[in-house]
Structure 1
Amino acid sequence: MDIKDIQNLIKFVAKSGASEVKLEMEDIKITIKTGSERLETTILQQAPMVNTQMPFAGTISQVETPIVDAVAKEEISKYVEITSPIIGTFYRKPSPDKPVFVEVGDMVNSETIVCMVEAMKLFNEIEAEVSGKIVKILIEDGTPVEFGQPLFLVDPS
């Protein structure tokens, strides 16, 4: 995992509204804690050494200022969210050389495939499950998503 992946993970956690996220892999442990105005990330990575266990401990801090706009929240509340049914990686296209499933302004019905979420090397087609017009795409292509995370906003009217 390089610094760009870590920065993308920090941005993802900040946008998700989660208060704490822990990620543990074979050789790296990451804990991201968010507060009301502060985002703190601690990274512990095992250095690949032969006989010694020398962990690297660093902190990446970034100040986040939450902006709450009541008018925008009221505007969004009239839309229906299409959410991720699984944890995985969000893809807007069936393959890199194909066009995206949907764009902003496209009309969808309950059976329209709007994206794919890859989990454990399986690509799962996600259907809209609602009829209406795509108003906003909330996730960038290739971004990790959580269960229940909003992916699209649909105007059902």
Structure 2
Amino acid sequence: MDIKEIQSLIKFVAKSGASEVKLETDDIKITIRTGGSGGSGETTYVQQIPMPAQAMPQMGAAQPAAPATPAPAEPKKESEEDSKYITIKSPIIGTFYRKPSPDKPSFVEVGDTISKGDVLCVIEAMKLFNDIESEVSGKIVKVLVDDSSPVEFDQPLFLIDPS
């Protein structure tokens, strides 16, 4: 987890109104406490910790932990082809929406050319709708998540061809 992802998490917690969120992964433990719904008094504690192999990443105070399921093995050929693309990942957990509302068209489709700052999708988290903007320019190669599906933090959403 890099500093940009941690900053995104802090912003999300401040906007959500939650008073405390804990996140634990294999090598990092983060606790974010806010001083109230105004977002003032944020404190972040990050600690590198060794965890047992069977420990599962868990988000406290926001959602119950889901049972661990092994990821399906992808064919090697496909991942070699995808390596030339940029992967846009979810900065937060929530529900992925391709459209701004049910009666509107999708933000982007496969084959669309996008610019840096274009809205790609919306992720709803705790009744807040967060626009997910592209950090690169390019062409949408693949949409990796179905509309109205739950997404996890750092889950791949789109493949972008930067050329």
Q: TM-score range by the shorter chain?
A: 0.5 to 0.7
| Rounded Cα–Cα distance in structure 1 between residues aligned with 2:157 and 2:92 | 12
Corresponding residue of 1:34? 69
- Deviation of 1:108 (Å): 0.6
- Which TM-score applies when normalising by structure 2? 0.58
Distance 1:119 1:69, change over 3 A: same
Which stretches in structure 1 are left out of the alignment for 5+ residues? Answer: 1-18, 37-65
Q: How many residues align?
A: 107
Match of 1:122 in 2: 128
| Contact 1:133–1:156 under 8 Å retained in 2 | yes
Give, in angstroms, the shift of residue 70 of structure 1.
1.8
Q: TM-score normalized by structure 1?
A: 0.60
**Which amino acid is 1:116 matched to?**
V
Q: Percent identity?
A: 58
The residue number in structure 1 matching 2:92 is: 86
The amino acid across from 1:34 in the alignment is: T
Structure of greater Rg:
1
Which residue among 143, 151, 155 is the counterpart of 1:145? 151
Cα deviation for residue 118 of structure 1 reads 0.4
Question: Which amino acid letter does the alignment assign opposite residue 115 of structure 1?
Answer: C
Q: Deviations over 1:90-141 (max 9, x none)?
A: 0000001111000000001111100000011110000011110000000000
Segments of 4+ in structure 1 off by > 4 A?
A: 19-24
Q: Deviations over 1:26-79 (max 9, x none)?
A: xxx88523358xxxxxxxxxxxxxxxxxxxxxxxxxxxxx44422211101110
Question: Which residue of structure 2 aligns with residue 132 of structure 1?
Answer: 138
Provide closer, same or farther for how the CA distance between residues 97 and 75 of structure 1 changes in structure 2, counting only shifts above 3 A.
same
Tell me the equivalent position of 1:62. none
Superposed CA RMSD in Å reads 2.5
Match of 2:109 among 103, 116, 119: 103
Q: Distance in 1 between matches of 2:143 and 2:153?
A: 17
Contact 1:20 1:34 in 2 (8 A): no
